[in-house]
Structure 1
Amino acid sequence: MSNSFIMWSLALLPWLSLFFMRKEEIKRWMPVALFAVVLTTIIGDIGIGLGVWATRESTYPFNEMLPYFYGTMPVLTIWVFKFTYGHFWPYMITNTILDIVFNFFILDYFLPSRGIVDFNMSPFLSLPVTLLHAVVIYGYQMWQDDALLATNRLTEHNIQPATAKPSVQQPKDDE
């Protein structure tokens, strides 16, 4: 199996699992997944700048970033939030297990053994970074929920612009 196939699989195949999720659930969790992608991209860029890792084999258009950041990671975020959001400790336990697999198996063993990436950091040091990432995106989703609740309060009271209000009906003349 070629490295290019592995990287494209990491980017595209996870998105197919969303066919097994309701559209409303995908809409509910997509903002936190996109935030996780942005945050992961920033962390990845900092790691490249500091020499923590280097991509030895890339796939267009993923020059320096791993396709995992745009495929597997946001989809896993959606699934984890679907099943654990609202229960912080099950969320953290699930993320800890996934982060251990990512740091110790994927980043430290699998990708370097295939010649895709050089990982110059101990998985014991990268694990706290990924766990902090999980806490930050959980906080972001809590903030999103508060913002959505404020929006729902406005719609409960039927607050609308004047142009959206129904016009006063004219009484009909009896003929």
Structure 2
Amino acid sequence: MKYKKFSKASLFIIMILPWFSLPLLGKDAFKRYFPSGIFISIIVLIVNFIAKKRRWWRWHDFLSPKITWVYPFTWGQFIVGSMWILKWTYGNFFRYMLVNLIVDGMFTYGLLYILKKFNIFTLVRMEKMKLMYVFMFDALLLYGFQYLKEKLLVNKG
């Protein structure tokens, strides 16, 4: 595979580089949104487990068949990106869904082509529009979790 070296080197960039933006997020925002980021990352891994069984898509091997590219994406840019989106948009549901639609659309209709070219991610039995539905459902779960978390904390305090 001619992109193998690039892929392995970029793994660390994909996974670690987003974490360097956290000081800009702020300590309070990190504390506020980190539990939601963990929650949705676990949901994404569960969805990926289901997708693997149903062959909706395929994250290609990284180090072994059990360690695929889904992990650096999930624990890197996805978790950090989720916290940033919540910081910028939480409290305005329309803006939140619009930002998610734009970001998820950029992944589905732009980045997906690059990931396929570099043999990182491929849709198998799922159409791009259905992938967008999965992303929008995840976005609703993320917002719902944050909403419930804040309602419970406000009622507790």
TM-score in terms of structure 1 length: 0.80
Question: Greater shift after overlay, 29-38 or 19-28?
Answer: 19-28
Partner residue of 1:18 out of 9, 15, 22: 22
Once the two structures are TM-superposed, the CA of residue 60 in structure 1 deviates from its matched residue by: 6.8
Q: Secondary structure at the match of 2:58?
A: strand
- Distance in 2 between residues matched to 1:137 and 1:113, nearest whole Å: 30
Equivalent position amino acid for 2:37 in 1: A
Structure 1 residue 22, shift from structure 2 partner? 1.6
TM-score when scaled to structure 2?
0.89
Q: What secondary structure does 1:28 align onto?
A: helix
Pairwise CA RMSD of aligned residues?
1.8
CA distance in 1, matches of 2:9, 2:82: 23
Q: 2:59–2:69: 8 Å Cα contact kept in structure 1?
A: yes
Q: Supply the distance in 2 between the matched residues of 1:59 and 1:117 (Cα, whole angstroms).
A: 15
Q: Which amino acid aligns with 2:107?
A: F
1:147 matched to 2:152? The reply is: yes
| CA displacement 1:80-119 (0-9 Å, x = unmatched) | 1111101000000000000001122223x11110012332
Against the structure 1 CA distance between its residues 62 and 147, is the aligned structure 2 distance closer, same or farther, given a 3 Å change threshold?
Answer: farther
Offset, 1:7: 2.2
Are the equivalent residues in 1 in contact too, given 2:61–2:69 (CA < 8 A)? no
- Using the alignment, how far apart are the partners of 1:59 and 1:29 within structure 2? 31
Change (3 A) 1:16 1:112: same
Of Structure 1 and Structure 2, the greater helix share is in 2
Specify every segment of 5 or more residues in structure 1 that has no aligned partner in the other structure, as ranges: 153-175
Q: Percent identity?
A: 26
**Separation of aligned partners in 1, 2:97 and 2:66:** 29
Deviation at 1:55, TM superposition (A): 2.7
Q: Distance in 2 between matches of 1:61 and 1:32?
A: 29
Q: Say which structure, 1 or 2, has more relative contact order (CA 8 Å, 6+ apart).
A: 2
State the shift of 1:62 in Å: 6.8
Aligned to 2:33: 29
For 2:109 and 2:129, how far apart are their aligned partners in 1?
8
Give me the whole-angstrom Cα distance separating, in 1, the residues matched to 2:130 and 2:49. 17
Q: Which amino acid is 1:117 matched to? A: F
Count residues with an aligned counterpart.
Answer: 151
Change beyond 3 A, Cα 1:148–1:60: farther
Counting only pairs closer than 5 Å after superposition, residues 1-175 of structure 1 correspond to structure 2 as 2-59=6-63, 63-66=67-70, 67-107=72-112, 109-120=113-124, 121-152=126-157
